Structure 1
């Protein structure tokens, strides 16, 4: 049971997945920007 508790917080497992998801989000945002011709902020209505 202690194994599942170590997957939360600033542990290597959580930080690895955080980095992977951040890279995925960046690639999706860049792809969307290239397909639509609008920046991310303008797509959200902020720019």
Structure 2
């Protein structure tokens, strides 16, 4: 005899750590902000980021 299939999808709690949708969204936004700030620093100083940081 076969088991009947469930008719509803269980609502599982979103994990608080690890690779979840919120963490990935936050990481993407932080990367975009960092990239834009890097471009702004290069434009304002007329130097590349490594030169501005004193690494080149």
Is TM (by shorter chain) over 0.5?
A: yes
Larger Rg: 2
Uncovered stretches (5+) of structure 1, i.e. residues with no partner: none
* RMSD of aligned alpha carbons: 1.4
The CA distance in 2 between the partners of 1:8 and 1:30, in whole Å, is: 31
The 5-angstrom pairing of residues 7-46 of structure 1 reads 7-46=16-55
After TM superposition, the score normalised by the length of structure 2 is: 0.69
How far, CA to CA, are the matches of 1:7 and 1:32 in structure 2?
35
Task: Give TM-score scaled by structure 1 length.
Answer: 0.80
Aligned length: 44
